[in-house]
Amino acid sequence: MGRDEQFTIPAAVLRGFDAGDDATREWLSTVPSVAHDLLRTWGLRPEGEVRSGEAGIVVPVHRADGTPAALKLQVPRAETRAAILGLTRWDGRGVVRLLDSDADRGGMLIERLHADRSLDVVEDDDDAVRVIGGLLARLHGVPAPDGLPRLGTIVAGMIDDAPEAMRILDSADRARLDRWVRTVDEVGAEPGDRLLHWDLHYGNVLAADREPWLAIDPEPLVGDPGFDLWPALDSGWSVDPADADAPRIVRRRFEILTEMLDLDRDRAAVWTRARLLQNTLWDVEDGYTAIAASAKTVDDALASFVAVG
């Protein structure tokens, strides 16, 4: 990008970004200039539609040698630094490749994938979930770097936060939440040491050129692989929790994933309950007063796999 060229992020993109806290609002006010500086520093030429999503803002670019890439901009905080750490360690194995980064300014230069073709387009659900299983196996097989959040710490925090949430829920939901806490507490002493993605749902798998499918938008975490299953179990059908076929879908996906990853199903079901607990605590923090219907569906569908609780 030439010194005198101007780059702007469309106002509609900035307005559409979830500015839920002061740090994000402050970042949004500076991100156009940050993008301009990084484009110049890394010798990038912007092209195509600038997009925004839950994880950040993405600018399609070409590098100086003509290679297509994408400039991803996120709020520069712990989660962004964790993403850079994880992507650096994975080095493109099952996941989008990180080409350059600036953690202090929340910038990542990543390889260009096919943003309009996610795993959601695959008609055969068994094929789709096997793609997830294959990617998770590769991601989990890479040793975790130092400096990432650890599942044991997260579990301890959830157990501490659960009593406050129980005061907000009705009696039936309190009983369910208490059951999750008790079963999760039983495995919390062995939280695992694998490098997890933490958010590998169907929409976070995109078609690529160097491989058929690659993961994007990781939130790297060190822990038990069973904690990484819920996003795939929940994908798609959860927009309609009343879908009568949802329990069968959940069980089928769970069976495929646990077989591919060689996981103990009882333990994996308990760690999936830990994800349901985590999501519910986040919901309560956001003002919800009931456990989400989709979470209850997943919990009930996996009940036969849990030996306790």
239: pLDDT confidence band, cut at 50, 70 and 90?
Answer: confident
Domain 11-112 in CATH 3.90.1140.10? The answer is no
Alpha carbon distance 232, 236 (integer Å) = 9
What gap in Å lies between CA 222 and CA 238, rounded to an integer? 26
> Given a cut of 80, is residue 2 above it in pLDDT?
no
Q: What is the pLDDT of residues 88-145, one digit of tens each?
A: 999 999 999 999 999 999 999 999 999 999 999 999 999 999 999 999 999 999 999 9
What distance in Å separates the CA atoms of residue 138 and residue 15, rounded to the nearest whole number? 37
Q: For residue range 17-68, what is the model confidence (pLDDT) as tens digits?
A: 766 678 888 888 899 999 999 999 999 999 989 988 777 899 999 999 999 9
What is the pairing mode between strands 98-102 and 107-111? antiparallel
Distance of CA 80 to the CA centre of its chain: 12
List the chain domain ranges: 11-112, 117-305
Could you tell me the pTM of the whole model?
0.94
Percentage of the chain lying above the pLDDT 70 cut: 96
pLDDT exceeds cutoff 50 at 309? no
37, 127, 173, 199: which is the annotated catalytic residue? 199
Share of the chain above pLDDT 90, in %: 82
* Mean per-residue pLDDT, 167-189: 95
Q: Determine whether 167 is exposed, middle or buried from the number of CB atoms within 10 Å of its CB (0-12, 13-18, 19+).
A: exposed
Q: Is 245 known to be catalytic?
A: no
* Res 55: pLDDT: 72
Pick the CATH number of 117-305 from 3.20.20.150, 3.40.50.150, 3.90.1200.10, 3.40.50.300: 3.90.1200.10
- For residues 59-85, give the mean pLDDT: 96
Mean pLDDT of the region 204-222: 97
- Strand pairing category for 68-73 and 107-111: antiparallel
The answer to whether 108 and 74 are in contact (CB under 8 A) is yes
d(CA 127, CA 133): 10
In whole angstroms, give the CA distance from residue 226 to residue 271.
5
Structure-token pair, residue 209: 């050129």
Write down the pLDDT at residue 108.
98
For residue range 258-281, list pLDDT tens digits in order: 999 999 999 999 999 999 999 999
Q: How far apart are CA 158 and CA 152, in angstroms?
A: 10
Q: At what angle do helices 265-285 and 151-166 cross, to 10 degrees?
A: 60
pLDDT at 242: 74
